[in-house]
Amino acid sequence: MTALTLSTSSAATLRADAVVIGVAKGPKGLVVAPGAEAVDQAFDGRLAAVVETLGGSGGEGEVTKLPAPSGFKAPVVLAVGLGDLPAEGDAFDEETLRRAAGVAARALAGSKKAAFALPVEDAESAAAIGEGAVLGAYSFTAYRGGKDEKPAKNAPLAEAAILGGKPRDKAFKAAVERATAVAAEVNRARDLVNMSPNDLNPKSFAAQAQAAGKEFGLKVEVLDEKALLKGGFGGLMGVGQGSVNPPRLVRVAYTHPKAEKTLALVGKGITYDSGGISLKPAGHNETMKCDMAGAAAVLGAVLAVARLGLKVNVTGWLALAENMPSGNATRPGDVLRMYSGTTVEVLNTDAEGRLVLADALTRASEENPDAIVDVATLTGAMVVALGDRTFGVMANDDAFRTSLYEIAEEVGEQAWPMPLPVELRKSMDSPVADMANIGERMGGGLVAGVFLKEFVGEGIAWAHLDIAGPAFHEKAPFGYTPKGGTGSSVRTLVRLAERTADGDLG
């Protein structure tokens, strides 16, 4: 992973492969952003003109490479577009810096060290640059190179030195340490999503949680298929029974001796979703290794909280199963007795996420946490509603939903509040069981949320993040978002834990 450092060196004297500067769209054309003054001086104040002549406009995501001026240790200057210049007196916002640093870091794959001379206002902006660099440099190479060594040519940028900050200042140090921990866990979640489903199954996922938990001092408990059967986890067992890879429920607990609040995070962990007997058609199953992205985000978030030593208890629940068709699979028409005791008629085996989550929500509720957040690639309907970059936020508590939506925006994740209309519940009435696992097609993302709500313990604040859109990125990379697993919602969950630790949430 890309190492982050704060440096007091100037852009001219730092030994690096490239100096990254920012350029923006001003009212009269391209302007050089703050932080690059020394570079501009070395160009006799003509840097903006040079970048513009090379075709630059300052637009977001744009990269212009030019030879560094003589006297510079670094051979190359990389100008990254920041978009529109903020209004007089305003600074560039954190997400703009995060994305620009990500674009630059990705463009510098194959380099060892880059100096980031982007606008640093305070510790937070320095951290945003660092976080963007680590996230943008990410690449998944586990399966590249066959039996040979990994190709070194386009290895991720090894070190990002952030210029313009105060390396000896406590706030700067802490902010960069935080960025390192959080970005590492976002990247872990991405790795888990990108692993092929023949490598990552419920058992191997649980083993990874155990190993990582041990490294950071967490308590990890795994219920295997025998324990799940004995415990009455009918949702997890029903979804997992068609696969040769049996289900698991993993509990990953971080505790702080002075914590006043406990958060429970529940993740959908379908390591592959074929749809089961209600098999998905070709064109709909090629990316379904991503269906454990919720569980990956929950694991990453709990580990990040542990690395940061936050004063809050956080329990992660990973509901792991593989949804496959077989002679042993749940049939459409089967009735499952869930962990809560509720019976559910499975009318569509492709609506499996809500079944495994229901059991995990009931189990999490037994410990009476102050709040529960579940994260799931739950419905195609949410992708239709919000597109592929925005996750939906539903909740049984309006204030909690608003908090989560605001927190997401604060950390640079796109989210939008969605309702849980009570009238949708009756569309899930079953003629034989307490309820069915599907209901009305319209508002399908909300129907799924209404289903989940039934399994949350009385009086517990609960929110549901449907990350089906942003969890897996199929288009060209942008900002710090690569192709494939994105680590969606890890940063939101970590900030929620920080806010809870600070006593900012009810």
Catalytic residue annotation: 280, 354
* Residue least distant from ligand BES (Cβ): 380
Which does residue 348 touch among Zn ion, Mn ion, ligand BES, none (CB within 5 to 8 A, set by kind)?
ligand BES
- Asked if 466 is part of the footprint of Mn ion (rule: CB under 5 A), the reply reads no
Residues 456-495 that bind ligand BES (CB under 6 A): 468
Q: With CB under 5 A as the contact rule, which of the stretches 27-35, 204-212, 351-359, 483-491 interacts with Mn ion?
A: 351-359
Provide the minimum distance between the beta carbon of 423 and Mn ion in the complex, in angstroms, as a whole number: 24
- In the list 180, 365, 379, 500, the residue contacting ligand BES (rule: CB under 6 A) is 379
Give 345 or 350: the residue with its C-beta nearer to Zn ion. Answer: 350
- Asked if 381 is part of the footprint of ligand BES (rule: CB under 6 A), the reply reads yes
- Asked if 322 is part of the footprint of Mn ion (rule: CB under 5 A), the reply reads no
Q: Is 423 annotated as a binding residue?
A: no
Q: Is 258 annotated as a binding residue?
A: no
Residues 431-460 that bind ligand BES (CB under 6 A): 438, 444
Task: Please state, in angstroms and rounded to a whole number, the distance separating the CA atoms of residues 105 and 159.
Answer: 10
For residue 69, report the phi and psi dihedrals to the nearest 5 degrees. -65, 155
- Asked if 273 is part of the footprint of Zn ion (rule: CB under 5 A), the reply reads yes
Q: With CB under 6 A as the contact rule, which of the stretches 79-87, 107-115, 249-257, 378-386 interacts with ligand BES?
A: 378-386
The DSSP result for 235-269, as a single string, is HHHHHHTTSSS--EEEEEEE--TT---EEEEEEEE
Q: What does DSSP say about strands 18-26 and 29-32: parallel, antiparallel, or unpaired?
A: antiparallel
Contact 194, 290 (CB under 8 A): no
- In the list 377, 390, 481, 488, the residue contacting ligand BES (rule: CB under 6 A) is 377
Provide the minimum distance between the beta carbon of 380 and ligand BES in the complex, in angstroms, as a whole number: 3
Instruction: Record the tokens describing residue 224, joined without a space.
Output: 């295997």
CB-based contacts of 51, cutoff 8 Å, min separation 6: 23, 30, 32, 64, 66, 79
Instruction: Record the tokens describing residue 63, joined without a space.
Output: 């990269």
Cα dist from 262 to 29, 215, 347, 370, whole Å: 51, 22, 36, 5
Q: With CB under 6 A as the contact rule, which of the stretches 225-233, 343-351, 393-401, 409-417 interacts with ligand BES?
A: 343-351
* Triad 199, 202, 208: Cα angle to 5°: 70
- Asked if 383 is part of the footprint of ligand BES (rule: CB under 6 A), the reply reads yes
- Asked if 285 is part of the footprint of ligand BES (rule: CB under 6 A), the reply reads no
How crowded is residue 478: how many other Cβ atoms within 10 Å of its Cβ? Answer: 16
Task: Please state, in angstroms and rounded to a whole number, the distance separating the CA atoms of residues 405 and 410.
Answer: 9
CB-based contacts of 12, cutoff 8 Å, min separation 6: 38, 39, 42, 71, 72, 73
Q: Is 291 annotated as a binding residue?
A: yes
- In the list 102, 213, 353, 439, the residue contacting Zn ion (rule: CB under 5 A) is 353
Contact 410, 473 (CB under 8 A): no
Q: Is 40 annotated as a binding residue?
A: no
- Asked if 351 is part of the footprint of ligand BES (rule: CB under 6 A), the reply reads yes
Contact 100, 118 (CB under 8 A): yes
Write out the residues near ligand BES by the rule CB under 6 A: 273, 291, 348, 350-353, 377-381, 383, 438, 444, 468
Write out the residues near Zn ion by the rule CB under 5 A: 270, 273, 291, 353
- Which residues carry a binding-site annotation for Mn(2+)? 268, 273, 291, 350, 352
